[in-house]
Amino acid sequence: MAFKSSGAQRKDKKEFKFDMKEQQFEQQNLKDAAFLDAVVKVYCTHTEPDYSLPWQKQRQYTSTGSAFMIGNGKLLTNAHCVEYYTQVKVKKRGDDTKYIAKVLARGVDCDIALLSVESEEFWEGAEPLEFGHLPRLQDSVTVVGYPLGGDTISVTKGVVSRIEVTSYAHGSSDLLGIQIDAAINPGNSGGPAFNDQGECIGVAFQVYRSEEVENIGYVIPTTVVSHFLNDYERNEKYTGFPSLGVMLQKLENPALRACLKVQSNEGVLVRRVEPTSDANRVLKEGDVIVSFDDVHVGCEGTVPFRSNERIAFRYLISQKFAGDVAELGIIRAGSFMKVQAVLNPRVHLVPYHVDGGQPSYLIIAGLVFTPLSEPLIEEECEGSIGLKLLAKSRYSLARFKGEQIVILSQVLANEVNFGYEDMSNQQVLKLNGTQIKNIHHLAHLVDSCKNRYLVFEFEDNYLVVLEREAASACSSHILKDYGIPSERSSDLSEPYVDSLEDNQAVDQDFGNSPVTNLEIGFEGLLWT
C-alpha cells in the first residue's frame, strides 16, 4: 500500500532509520514556543483480537504517539494511535508525570480520536490550541510531535504542496487531506500542524512511502476535524462520514455523453448503486448526476473549490452528516429531473474494522464459525483464505444492513465431527435449508432448531451433517479440552432481530466491479 499511517511508535521495534535531510528545529529557534506546551506524548497499551482464535486476544504491546489540547478537558490524536487500546496515558512537555486518559470516541474513517483527562493537575496552566482556516498552497507549516529517535518534542517545518481528496489508509476512506513536505515519522501521529500565526491547521496522520519520492506527509485538515467534533457533539457519539453509495464513471468522452443524451460538458455516470443506500431508491444505473445541492458537477467528477480550484465531487458529500438529505440533479434518458437521497455511512459486506474490537464467533460441535473481515484476511493471509472468498470480499456488496459472509474458520477435532477436521476458511451458506444472513442469524437458527440433524451447506456444495443432541452434549467437553471460556461471543447472547424486512433468502453473487476505490486500478471509476 502506498499510503501508510505514520503510525504510533511501537516500542518492540528496535530498528531506527534517520534522514539527515530533515529540518529539525530546537525550541530557541521558534519565534513563539507557547503552543508547544499544548502538545503531549501519548503512551498506549494495545491488545489486539486474535481473529483466528476469536475467543482470545493477542499478546499486548505498547506504543507512543502524539496528541494536543483542544479545551474542555479534551485532547485530539489519531484513531490508529489508540486502536485496540486497553490503557492510554499522556504526559505533558517538561513533566515527568503520566496521566490516565479516557477514549471518548474513535473515528476510524477519518483517523481521529477524542480523549479526555479528568485530573485537574494535568490542566493547570494549559492553553488549548486554536484552529485555523484551511491553508493555501505554499503556506508554511510546522509539524510538532514526539517521533521516534528521542523522547523530547520535535519540530519539523515545510510548506503545503497540495490540497485534495486523499485516501485515508487507516479507514480505507477518501476525505480532504493536506499534503506537506515536512517530515512525518512514526510517533508524529496525532500531533498538530501549525501555520505561521500559531494556529492549528490539522493533524499529522500518514506518509507516502515510495523509493521515488521522499518527505511527502499528510495532515487531516481542520474541516475534517470540525466535522468529527460536531458529529460527536450532535449525537454524543461518533457516527461517521456519510456516503452516497454509488459508483461513478467520468464523462470526458464526447461520444459517451452524446449516447447518454447529455448536451453539455458535465456530469458523472452512475454505474453501480449500493443496495443498502437510500440512493438505491431514486437512482438507476445509467443516470447521469449533473448537480449536487445545486452545485454543478464537471465531467471529470469535480466541483468548484475556492478560487480557481476544483476538487473531487466526494468533497461535497463529506461536508454532510449522517442522516442529511442531498438533492441530486440527474439526466435520465435525456430528461432532467431532481431527486433527493438520505446520506449515511457505507455498509461493508466485509468490514475493514470490527465494531467493539472483538470478533463474533460461534462454536458448534467443534466447528468454529466467524464473520469474514479484512483483519481476518490479513491475519490468515490471502493465500489461505482462498480465491473465491477473496473475490467476494473485493467485489460483493451487502444486500441488506447486517449481512455478513459467515465462514467456518477451523474445526476443533472431536469424535462428533469425525471426518470434518481438515475443513477451514469455507463459507457456510445454509442451515437446514435456510439461507444464513449473518452469524447472529446462524446462532438463532441453531438455538431454535428442533430437527434431529444440523445440516450445513457450504460453498461448492459441500455438506456437513451433525446430530443435534450429540453436538449439544459434547460442547462442554470440547470447550474444556481447548481451554475456551464460552461457545459463543457475548454479542450472540442478545436476542436476534431480523434486519431483512421482506424476510426473503438472499443469494450472494459476485459483482462486476470492486467495492472500494483502493481496488480500482484507474481513475475513470470511483465510489462516492
Catalytic residue positions, numbered = 80, 111, 189
DSSP letter string, 14-25: ------TTS-B-
Alpha-carbon gap, residue 266 to 268, rounded angstroms: 7
Instruction: Identify whether the C-beta of residue 218 lies closer than 8 Å to the C-beta of residue 177.
Output: yes
Alpha-carbon gap, residue 35 to 55, rounded angstroms: 45
Alpha-carbon gap, residue 455 to 431, rounded angstroms: 6
Q: Which long-range contacts (CB under 8 A, 24 or more apart) does 469-476 make?
A: 470/365, 470/416, 471/364, 471/365, 471/416, 474/365, 474/366, 474/414, 474/415, 474/416, 475/363, 475/364, 475/365
User: How many residues can be counted in the chain?
Assistant: 528
Beta carbons within 8 Å of 219's beta carbon, 6+ residues apart: 141, 143, 177, 178, 179, 180, 193, 201, 202, 203, 204, 205
Alpha-carbon gap, residue 525 to 176, rounded angstroms: 18
Alpha-carbon gap, residue 425 to 16, rounded angstroms: 38
Alpha-carbon gap, residue 41 to 86, rounded angstroms: 17
Instruction: Identify whether the C-beta of residue 218 lies closer than 8 Å to the C-beta of residue 171.
Output: no
How many CB atoms are located within 10 Å of the residue 390 CB? 15
Beta carbons within 8 Å of 149's beta carbon, 6+ residues apart: 16, 18, 185
Bridge-partner residues for 453, per DSSP? 467
Alpha-carbon gap, residue 82 to 90, rounded angstroms: 12
Q: At 502, is the secondary structure helix, strand, or coil?
A: coil
Alpha-carbon gap, residue 399 to 42, rounded angstroms: 41
Query: Rg for the chain (alpha carbons), in Å?
Result: 25
> What backbone torsions phi and psi does residue 177 show, to the nearest 5 degrees?
-140, 155
Q: At 222, is the secondary structure helix, strand, or coil?
A: helix
Q: What is the dihedral of CA 319, 324, 325, 330, to 10 degrees?
A: 30
Residue in the block written with cell 477451514 = 424
Instruction: Identify whether the C-beta of residue 527 lies closer than 8 Å to the C-beta of residue 519.
Output: no
Residue in the block written with cell 451447506 = 457
Instruction: Identify whether the C-beta of residue 117 lies closer than 8 Å to the C-beta of residue 75.
Output: yes
